[in-house]
Copies of this chain bind each other. A is one copy, B any other.
């Protein structure tokens, strides 16, 4: 007989929501089969290209070459004590934290996605709200829904900085989390220190108004990828009730190994209760603990970034050329994305036109930012970018952009 319910209705809903982007990736895949991958200008994927630092690879090799009994066993769900102590010390030193973290403020995680899910599970009850500046990484919708929360996008200004008045107005009695991502996916914007300080004041006012904690949850996988010598301002330094979720996918080129951490501001009065809840959820959501060997491997490489100069050269070339052609865009200060305005209001149509010329990009509506499109230069070498420029130029001409070249 024909049975129903092979998957849950909720799964079906999630799959439908993800289907537009999947269809686009599928078109890209087919295109590569048709014309050859080398002939496709693929700016759609955010897969970091950089390899881990050679010293890190050697450290991992040494660890496997000289096995210690018990090194692959379960440890505490929050990770190894010494690793967490090293990460706390590195954060304290790099950001000059006057309220220093110790190992009881760090939980090792399976990357940033694992970290965010654990924290959201720890703080959201059904119907609780998460505010997110728009445009935002589309997966946040799923992370929040996983834990029965509700996502509430907040407008940003022309520079993709959240409008503080609108943000404050959006905070209601069910708001538990403000979720940010700096350097930002998809815009590449870095939130300045002054903005974080204002955010701290805003959160304090809202907490006094509503009587409960409101956390700034900072998704920081791109924190190491900041250009022009900039250091990304620290939320732990500037925001009392902040929580960082991050990974070493991008800075250390370890995306496939699923290693990152959660760091809690010591200025959260109930930080140990929050830590304990997140320790429990690390276990019960099925992570159990971050991969053992990778914990020890990354501990020694805190603050290092592999491949930064390459990414910066790519950003410089692509930004300069697109500006010259007349594309309107904010210069990305970090990450490996840029988010230009679509030359026509319907970014879906623009992306289809680009696809006809073998150029793949993601429409802004996929990030709740219609009227824009996202370019990822994560996998594009300078040569790749140079080869793609005529296509960008053709599109600029087609839509009457006025450049200076």
**Chain A interface (Cβ within 8 Å of chain B)?**
1-12, 14-15, 18, 47-49, 51-52, 57, 60-61, 64-65, 67, 69, 71-75, 110-111, 113-118, 121-126, 128, 139, 142-143, 146, 148, 176, 207-208, 211-213, 249, 253-258, 268-271, 273-274, 276-277, 280-281, 283-294
Contact = CB atoms under 8 A, between A and B. Distances in A.
Contact of A124 (B8, B213, B256): B8
B212 A4 contact: yes
A23 B5 CA distance: 41
Contacts of A64: 57, 60-61, 64
Give 5 nearest A-B pairs by CB, closest first.
A256-B292, A6-B270, A5-B212, A142-B284, A117-B286
A6 B257 CA distance: 31
Contacts of A290: 258
Nearest to A259: B291
A286 B111 contact: yes
A298 to B, nearest CB: 12
A297 B71 CA distance: 16
B146 A285 contact: yes
B255 A11 contact: no
Contact of A176 (B5, B121, B285, B286): B5
Contacts of A73: 47-49, 253, 255-256
A277 B15 contact: yes
Contact of A6 (B75, B115, B273): B273
